[in-house]
Structure 1
Amino acid sequence: MVHDLDVANLIYVDHMKHTEDMVSYTAGFSRIIYPLANRHHGVLRQNLVNIYDEKFYGELDILTVVDKNGIVVARARNSSSYGDSQADNDLIRHAMNGTTISSTVIITHEELLKENRSLADQAYMEFTPTPKAKPRPENHSTSGMAILVASPIYDMNGRFIGVLYGADLINRDYYIVDEIKNALYKDEIYGGRDVGTATIFQEDFRISTNVPTDTGERAITTRVSREVNEAVLEKGEYWKDRAFVVNSWYVTAYKPIKNINGDTIGILYVGILEQPYIDAGYRILIIYILFLFTGFVLSIFVSQYYAGAITSPINKLIKGTESIARGQFEKIEVGTNDETAKLANAFNEMAIDLQKTMGELVLKRNEIETIFKSISDVASALDKDNRIIFANSLANKIFGDDINGKFCYQVFEGKDKRCEDCPGIESLKSGEVVRVIHSRMDNNGKEYFFEITGSPLKDENDNVTGTLEIRRDVTEQKTLENQLRESYENLENAYKELQQMDEIKSELVANISHELRTPLTSVRGYTELMLDGTLGDITDMQEKSLIVVLRNIDRLTRLITNVLDLSKFESIEHEISSLQLERLIDDVITDFEKNAKDKNITIAKDVEANLTLEGDEDRLVQVFYNLLENAVKFTDEGGEISVKAYREDAYHLHIEVSDTGIGIAEDELDMVFKRFYQIDSSSTRKFGGTGLGLAICKKIIEWHNGTIWARSIQGKGSVFHILLPVKQPDSSSQIYK
């Protein structure tokens, strides 16, 4: 019986897994995702009703959607009931954390009314007075026990937007218990009664059973005995023994049914009639009694002598047969070497073979049925002539219960002859898995696409005897592929247009820069001629004005140069070589020694020895030049400038350029690297500049896969940090574009 109970539990869990697959699969329907994501709750309610009527009527009792806060927005069985919170439900809380979860739960009368009044009526039960049951104060129950599944809903961007939960109410639903009975005991009848039975209890009363009453009805609302109640419900233990169930003696086994928190809320029971096995034992006993009687008639003295020796092993045989009747396959030891011992050994071998065969057959059958039923697509087994010999529940639901024996192309394709690219035929020929895509138009002219997979079915000699054919609706996938292909083409065209625009921009900037430089060169030349007196004497006021003109010509020239550098930076070739960092820094410091000395500024250098890196020498010199130029420019007389370089780790070098200048406000530290940005207009007038130097530095450093940033205290100075990799990617190539 313990083995039978394990098989029954496997079927119960399989039913829960099947329910979980249905709900999880439905959570991905676009008819649920789009209206929920866009808060079109009216559309969602109608869609949920339609989905339930199309796919789950008769399979699920509850199908409900809550938003990401746990508020109900749609119920399939009661579209007018919404707005209440389910956030306190343990399973829904798990689903809100991104986990699909299933469990057996108790649903209150109030919650059942919200889903549908008929469910509350179905769950209501008045207890039938039951001898030996443990007393309880109430005489009825309004709550129900159900298998409930909650699955998260994500939008097309992978964001969590809500939960879909569905439930199968077990009260007065006999599908599971009948499936257990058919799997374990088939239709075996003894004395006009089913030999095997199964029951599901909510707490201590039967809510689903195939145990009959005296009138032949199902014995729901009767209650379990006190000893089972205390062992299973109160202690959470298994219980197995012979028991008087309703109106007959059974060999029984019980196990607790627990919720997600581990609380026992019900019982799963299996039992077989004890009478068939007792009668078998009596028949054997009668045979031996006749044998003994015959021996007694032949020789009263011999029978008296051997009476004790024969009766003892017979009693052991009887007890052994009773043990087999209870499902306990224990070895029978009679303690003799005569014919009784041979009979006992025959019984032992029979019991071992029976136990092994029953276990293998039940397990194998249940495994196959479980796998076949768990397939969420249309699945069918075909013989060599492409006739359907078995189909799963979804195939029967869509195409009818009478499809067995018909040709697959008649049922699934609506054709009178085999398909040219039939995967079933190809799989029969090759013995391999074959996949094809078929399309089909419905009556409204809409085209549907199906992925059909044919897998060979082989016997124990590896001969192909048929095929397993699975049909999956991939219409949404094909539609999405077409949309992605169209979007990719649009993006590719847009990218080409952007490339053309970028080339035009670069050419325009280069032409404008050239046209501006030419007149600026002439203006600068004539200004210098006027300043050095070549064109005649000038007054002091004119000299000051001309110096201002010359300074602004230099500023405009730098601006043009910087704009041109930025515009053509990505298009020019950069020569990568191995560089001595200290040499580069020394060269740049040398260029600024005179300017620093004129302002009585000290430039200190602290560079770690033998620092090398890969990079474009001219561009990195340009970065250090800009940073030192700014440091000298914005540091008052008598100030200090420091240049440090050290190894940050095995793969990066760290360079710091610090000064004791005017500093930068904290809220402007990130802005100084933007193009044309200057701290304020007063600084521009006092120090000059284009606002492009640091932008160019940032561009060059990031091209080298590095990082540049600044730290500053206004009025005390600034520190500019550069982090550069020692090696550039693809460094085997010396020129990058």
Structure 2
Amino acid sequence: MKKTRTLKNQILISFAIVIAVLGVCTFALGYYVVKTDIFARIQSEADRSLDSAMTVYEEEIRRIGMSLEIADLNGSIAELREKMRLHYFYRFPVEQALAHPSELVRRAAQQGEPTGGTRLIDSVELAQMREDIRLQAYIAIKPTAKARSTQQLLLDSAMAKEYALPLKDAAGAVVEVVFGGRIVNRDDEFVDRIRHLVFGDATYQGLPVGTVTIFLDDVRISTNVVDESGQRAIGTRVSEAVYNEVVEHGRRWRDRALVVGHWYKAAYEPIYSFDDTIIGILYVGILEEPFQARAARVLLAFLAVILLASVIAFVLAFILAGSVSRPLTLMLDGTQKLSYGDLGHLIMPPHSTIEEMHRLAHAFNDMSVRLEEREVRLQENHQKLEELNKSYLDLLGFVAHELKGLLASAIMNAYSLRDGFLGMINFKQKRAVDSICRNLDFLSATVIKFLNLSRIERDNLEVNKTHFKLWGDVFGHAVQTFSKQINDRQMKVVNEIDPELTVAADQDLMMIVANNLVSNAAKYGVDGGRIVLHAADEGERVSVEVYNDGRPISPENQARLFKKFSRLNVPEKKKVKGTGLGLYITRQIIEAHGGRIDVETKDNGNSFIFQIRKE
């Protein structure tokens, strides 16, 4: 059985489900909006920061050129280098400049125009530079997860920001080239200055919020990203996916990136050498953790608002459920009292602002009053009907009883007259007396049926069970009783009832059943047809069948067979007298024995089948 709930609980549960679904959906939407908005903003900020970092990088090259252009070049090379904050500074005649490994220097000598840019200093050229520059440039390569596989353990080349300035004579011919630059490898001052200009100096739990890194090929050569030990992550490498996108294909890469154990919103841009060859990567990243913490705080505040709104909504739902369920509970109690017979019970109008509840209460009270009035009328009518029924039953019993006595005397005298006990009568007189006898027999049978009907109507149909033989004590006598009628119609009786089959039932009542069924078979069968009596022992029950050849009973007539004062609508009806009580009485007797009776139509006849308990 399906579990039920009170209306109040059902309303509360329904509201709770709606509130929960709306709350979850609202929170999910808020979560999506907050996450999407905040992290989309971070990514956009990372892109703008990368553009700013690249501008600072290019501005550093222009600064070197400006320093060369305004400097007094007649001083000491070392002093000029220190004054211009360069890692290296040289002054070559044009002939040496044209043979220099630097493309920038050669181009300045050839074209006579100042030239600046980024270039790669290979290991051979680097080996010829000062020791401090070599030590700054050499970087041990560290194993890095998700990076390309490599056998290289030491980076022995350098990235440089360089500027070359040609010096001309009075005729405008290039006679010398001065050039200088800064090694990017381990240039902490440079990347820190970029970070300061782009992000400021904000930190989160000891980590810089913004980070800047410059890669030579895929090796981190200058960075303010720190590793687990708190040291700058020099020598670590970029992931293979980023390398393929930025260095191999020359495209900007933007996404989340796991940088030395921490997630950043990152942007990577290729760094081109003076000859448009990609030699490295400029990276900027914004640490996600502070923004995640901010998003968490926003979501917690959002969740608190949702929970508060849900609590308020649930309290309102509780109040509403009470205002709806309380009046209905009163009405339910009222209906129970009505069902227990307390007609006219009234309920108080509910303390509710819901108009329908007041209307429902008034309608209930009006119904209760009307039910009480109707009950009073029904009681009065019932009393009248009881009195009328009693009068009917008394009259029925009295008339049937009186007629039974009178008919017994009349039948005896009629048969005595017919059989010559009162003197001989002629043929015509005998035919007239035969007709009188038949009518008196019909009247006698009718009176007996009315007496039985009176017993049934009064609920006086007492069942006194005894053991008797079904054929010898009941159906055999019934066949004998109607033998003349059976013989007159030349009908054949076929007995298939075991002579030794016994049942425990009221023999007198079963005699009435047998007489009614055999009588109907004789009356409604066809001339020369069969009457078949059959009984089957079915264990706890006995099934009895009375069959006669004749017209099959239509479904319409089957529905009327066992009703009181109902006769079949068949052509034989005009020839056969009856009261329409026989089968009704038969059914009442069978049901009083705890059994049932039905009719089954056959191809050429009908079977009345009843079952009663064997014991």
Fold match (TM-score > 0.5): no
More RCO (CA 8 Å, sep 6+) = 2
State the TM-score bracket (shorter-chain normalisation): 0.3 to 0.5
Larger Rg: 2
**TM-score relative to the length of structure 2:** 0.45
Give the structure with the larger helix fraction.
2
